Amino acid sequence: MEKRIQFQSGSLLLEGLWRPGPTGQAVVVAHPHPLYGGDMHNPVVATIADSFASKGYATLRFNFRGTGGSEGRYDDGPGERQDLAAALKWARQQSAAAACVAGYSFGGWVAAGAAVEGHLDGAPLYLVAPPVGFISFDALSAPPALTAVVAGTRDDIAPLPQVRALLARWQAEELLSVIADCDHFYSGCLPRLAEALASRIPPAKATADPAAAP
């Protein structure tokens, strides 16, 4: 069961939903654009979290600054990258020996930027529908530890040809999973999204002393 939690991001108090796991490994999931209704309750965000939970991971989904009950206001990227780094730090402090990051849409853009800037400390990174048709990724080099990317064939916010071109520039074409006939919101496609993620997520491994991990 998920429980409501709060954590600090600089001077701001953010809210999240934390689901403990049995293995000492966790995932932090970043939500879509808050100015367009995105938050931690988004069905795609919930599906991503559930997919990791089914593999033995603890999960943390949270609201960026200015969203829901999180303090502050939208910051067009820099503040949100700070929020994601703070969420990852919090997850690692909850006996999570290792943590990875998954971002959907805007959350993927934030996560990729945070990874490139070194804020995620090499955490494995999963991107779902990176919004290359809506936000520029031109300034981003290949994120460290990029592990998987999922895109749909009917997504006009993350158009598949542009996603392929981005991954070619990053030399990461082999990381792409394509879901046929899925739009940006994965309408009617959530079970297939879960299947695609399950094929890319390794089972979480139990650790002898997760609390002692960095």
Residue 205: per-residue pLDDT: 87
In a domain, residue 213? The reply is no
Establish how many alpha carbons lie within 13 A of residue 12's alpha carbon, considering only the half-sphere containing its beta carbon.
Answer: 22
At 173-192, the pLDDT tens digits run 999 999 999 999 999 999 99
Tell me the pTM. Answer: 0.95
At 43-53, the pLDDT tens digits run 999 999 999 99
In a domain, residue 55? The reply is yes
What is 16-40 written as a DSSP string? EEEE--SSSEEEEEE-S-GGGT--T
In a domain, residue 207? The reply is no
Residue with tokens 């995620």: 120
In a domain, residue 210? The reply is no
Q: Is the pLDDT of residue 96 over 80?
A: no
Confidence of residue 98 (pLDDT cuts 50, 70, 90): confident
Provide the domain limits for residue 84.
Answer: 3-201
Angle at 210 between CA 204 and CA 214, to 5 degrees: 105
Instruction: Give buried/exposed letters for 15-37 (b at 16+ CB in 10 A, else e).
Output: bbbbbebebbbbbbbbbbbbeee
Give dist(CA 91, CA 71) in Å, integer: 19
Mean pLDDT, to the nearest integer, of 110-124?
A: 97
Domain count, the chain: 1
Average pLDDT, the chain: 95
Q: What is the CATH number of the domain that holds 69?
A: 3.40.50.1820
Q: Is the pLDDT of residue 213 over 70?
A: no
